[in-house]
């Protein structure tokens, strides 16, 4: 019996999925192979008929694919919540992020601000507008290419402040993660999974989906800068 399935995911969840896949193979006898790319690219592939069993994306993008009929009905499941954090190049001053005025000061003092094409980037741009800083910062914003961590713009000298999911920044060399945004400016994203309508092994895919959302996966989630999604209210980006 074939005990191997394939999956598609965004870059933010690549590290945790790699860790969990390594655990699932010896513990449950299932080989899980995920291919990761930018979330927009993954959604495009699915709409063009990409053959895979599972998909893991930001909740909003996955819910849209579900509405379009690309997921098996009833399989959409919130998995992990990830906070957006700020980072600076290693060896540079670390701005304080203890309050909203601190965040405003950090944004205004940055020469170039890196952000992603994913949900964290959209939320950051919305936050800057809410703080009434859009006009002042519009020429300082630098968007990383799809699938490229915003933190790489710090190490390459193209930005001196970056914002992205913790999981995508925590292991990058040459940068220092300052921490999450303060108070009401905090941004978090929920990443969900589902079984694709193109799955050749939907039963096995459902089994792996349960393993990804199990209590046993919580330790891996914490180690990768995420927490388990436990309530419906945690769905979406905020």
- pLDDT for position 237: 43
Question: What CATH number was assigned to the domain covering residues 4-80+190-233?
Answer: 3.40.190.10
Q: In the chain, what are the domain boundaries?
A: 4-80+190-233, 82-185
> What percent of the chain has pLDDT above 90?
74
Q: Is 139 helix (H, G, I), strand (E, B) or coil?
A: coil
CA 168 – CA 112 distance, rounded (Å): 19
Q: Is 3.40.190.10 the CATH classification of the domain at 82-185?
A: yes
What are the tens digits of pLDDT across the range 75-106? 999 999 999 999 999 999 999 999 999 999 99
Q: Determine phi and psi for 225, rounding to 5 degrees.
A: 75, 20
Contact 61, 39 (CB under 8 A): yes
- pLDDT for position 2: 66
CA 121 – CA 22 distance, rounded (Å): 30
- pLDDT for position 234: 44
Closest CA to 13 of 65, 63, 81, 61: 81
Q: Is 170 helix (H, G, I), strand (E, B) or coil?
A: coil
- pLDDT for position 1: 56
CA 93 – CA 222 distance, rounded (Å): 27
Record the tokens describing residue 11, joined without a space.
Answer: 């870059």
In sign, the C-alpha dihedral spanning 152, 235, 238, 143 is: positive
pLDDT in tens, the chain (238 residues): 568 999 999 988 998 999 999 999 999 999 999 999 988 899 999 999 999 999 999 999 999 999 999 999 999 999 999 999 999 999 999 999 999 999 999 999 999 999 998 888 999 999 999 999 999 999 999 999 887 889 999 989 999 999 998 988 888 999 999 999 999 999 998 999 999 999 999 999 999 999 999 988 888 988 888 999 974 334 444 4
Comparing 4-80+190-233 with 82-185, is the CATH topology the same? Answer: yes
* pTM of this structure: 0.82
Contact 116, 10 (CB under 8 A): no
């Amino acid at each position: 019996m074939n005990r191997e399935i394939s999956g598609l995911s965004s870059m933010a969840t690549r590290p945790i999925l790699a860790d969990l896949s390594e655990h699932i193979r010896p513990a449950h006898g299932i080989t899980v192979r995920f291919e990761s790319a930018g979330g927009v690219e993954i959604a495009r592939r699915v709409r063009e008929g990409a053959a895979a069993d599972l998909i893991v994306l930001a909740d909003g993008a996955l819910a849209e694919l579900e509405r379009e009929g690309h997921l098996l009905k009833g399989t959409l499941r919130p998995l992990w919540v990830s906070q957006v954090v700020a980072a600076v190049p290693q060896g540079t001053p670390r701005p304080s992020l203890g309050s909203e005025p601190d965040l405003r000061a950090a944004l205004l003092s940055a020469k170039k601000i890196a952000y992603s094409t994913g949900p964290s980037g959209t939320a950051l741009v919305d936050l800057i507008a809410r703080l009434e800083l859009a006009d002042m910062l519009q020429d300082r914003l630098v968007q990383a290419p799809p699938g490229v961590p915003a933190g790489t713009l710090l190490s390459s000298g193209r930005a001196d402040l970056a914002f992205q999911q913790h999981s995508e920044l925590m292991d990058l060399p040459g940068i220092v993660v300052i921490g999450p945004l303060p108070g009401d400016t905090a941004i978090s994203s929920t990443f969900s999974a589902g079984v694709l309508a193109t799955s050749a092994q939907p039963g096995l895919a459902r089994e792996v989906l349960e393993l990804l959302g199990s209590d046993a996966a919580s330790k891996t989630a914490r180690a990768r800068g995420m927490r388990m999604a436990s309530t419906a209210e945690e769905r979406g980006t905020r």
